[in-house]
Amino acid sequence: MSELSSPATVPFQRFVAIGDSFTEGVGDEDPQAPGGVRGWADRAAEVLARQTPTFEYANLAVRGKLIQPIVREQVDRAIAMRPDLITFCAGGNDILRPGSDPDRVAAIFDRSLARLTATGATVLIFTGPDLRTMPAFALIRGKVAIYNENMRASAARRGALVVDQWGLRALHDPSRWAPDRLHLSPLGHHLMAIRVLETLGVEHDLSPEHVAGPPVGRWHVTSADVQWAREYLWPWAMRRLTGRSSADGRHAKLDHPVHPTDDSE
Q: Mean pLDDT across the stretch 99-119?
A: 97
Q: Which of 33-42, 96-105, 239-248 has the lowest mean pLDDT?
A: 239-248
- 246 or 166, which is more confident: 166
Supply the pLDDT for residue 179.
87
Mean pLDDT value across residues 212-238: 49
- Report yes or no: 7 and 75 within 8 Å, Cβ to Cβ: no
Query: What pLDDT, on a 0 to 100 scale, did the predictor assign at position 216?
Result: 42
Question: What's the whole-model pTM score?
Answer: 0.80
User: Domain containing 51 — which CATH number?
Assistant: 3.40.50.1110
- Which residues have C-beta within 8 Å of that of residue 152, sequence separation ≥ 6? 127, 162
Range from 89-98, 105-114, 135-144, 217-226 carrying the lowest mean pLDDT: 217-226
Confidence of residue 2 (pLDDT cuts 50, 70, 90): very low
Domain assignment of residue 88, given as a range: 14-207+219-244
Instruction: Please tell me the predicted confidence (pLDDT) of residue 9.
Output: 55
Please tell me the total count of domains within the chain: 1
* Axis crossing angle, helix 102-117 with helix 141-158, rounded to the nearest 10: 30
42 pLDDT more than 50: yes
Q: Is 20 a domain residue?
A: yes
Give 26-36 pLDDT, tens digit per residue. Answer: 999 999 888 89
Residue 30 located in a structural domain: yes
Is the pLDDT confidence value at 112 over 80? yes
Kindly state whether residue 249 falls inside one of the protein's structural domains: no
256 assigned to some structural domain: no
pLDDT at 107: 98
Alpha-helical segments (H) within 36-82 = 39-51, 67-70, 76-80
Is residue 259 situated within a structural domain? Answer: no
Residue 255 belongs to a domain: no
Residues forming a β-bridge with 162: 125
- Residue 119 belongs to some domain of the structure: yes
The verdict on residue 252 lying in a domain is no
Rounded Cα distance, 76 and 205, in Å: 33
Q: Which amino acid is present at 128?
A: G
